[in-house]
Each structure stands twice: as structure tokens, then as C-alpha cells.
């Protein structure tokens, strides 16, 4: 598992801007390594393409979904 975070972490201001900084790193990481995709990654990619910040709750949901699907693949 890899954790992606924004570069602008001095304050809690602009959560949407911070999200897009981290999201770009995630998408680049997946694309550069041709990693397999899942519903969580697809959700993040959709947000990236639309440049849409859905709020932190949806971000957490997609993160957990991705984690669960990656772990499922690892143990099955």
C-alpha cells in the first residue's frame, strides 16, 4: 500500500486543492506502473478526469474500497 498526500500541508485550508495534489500523484503512480484497476481506482480516476472534489467522506469511501479490493486480491 502506498499513501499519497499533498505538498501544501502547512494549514488545513483548501481541502479540495490538497485532494487534487494527492490525486494527481495517485493517478500518475497507477499509470506509470500499469497497475491493475478496481472500483476504487476507477472512482478516483473519474474524479480526476472531471476535476471534481466530492468531499472527504467520498474520498474515504473510495480509499477503503480500494484497500479492501487490493487485500482481497492478495488473499484469494
Q: In the chain, how many domains are there?
A: 1
Are the CB atoms for 8 and 26 separated by under 8 Å?
no
Given a cut of 90, is residue 24 above it in pLDDT? yes
Is 4 within a domain?
Answer: no
Q: Show the domain range for 29.
A: 15-75
Is 3 within a domain?
Answer: no
Q: Would you state the cell numbers that stand for residue 65, as one nine-digit string?
A: 474500497
Mean pLDDT of the region 5-29? 96
3-state secondary structure of 2: coil
**pTM of the full structure:** 0.92
Mean pLDDT of the region 38-55? 99
Is 35 within a domain?
Answer: yes
Is 6 within a domain?
Answer: no
pLDDT at 1: 81
Is 5 within a domain?
Answer: no
**Burial category of 63 from C-beta neighbours within 10 Å (exposed 0-12, middle 13-18, buried 19 and up):** middle
Is 42 within a domain?
Answer: yes
Is 50 within a domain?
Answer: yes
- Pairwise pLDDT comparison (40 vs 76), residue with the higher score: 40
Amino acid at each position: 500500500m502506498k499513501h499519497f498526500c499533498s505538498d501544501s500541508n502547512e494549514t488545513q485550508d483548501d481541502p479540495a486543492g490538497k485532494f487534487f495534489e494527492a490525486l494527481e500523484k495517485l493517478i500518475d503512480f497507477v499509470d506509470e506502473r500499469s497497475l491493475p484497476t478496481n472500483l476504487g481506482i476507477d472512482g478516483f480516476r473519474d474524479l480526476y478526469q472531471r476535476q471534481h472534489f466530492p468531499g472527504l467522506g467520498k474520498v474515504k469511501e473510495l480509499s477503503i474500497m480500494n484497500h479492501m479490493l487490493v487485500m482481497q486480491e492478495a488473499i484469494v
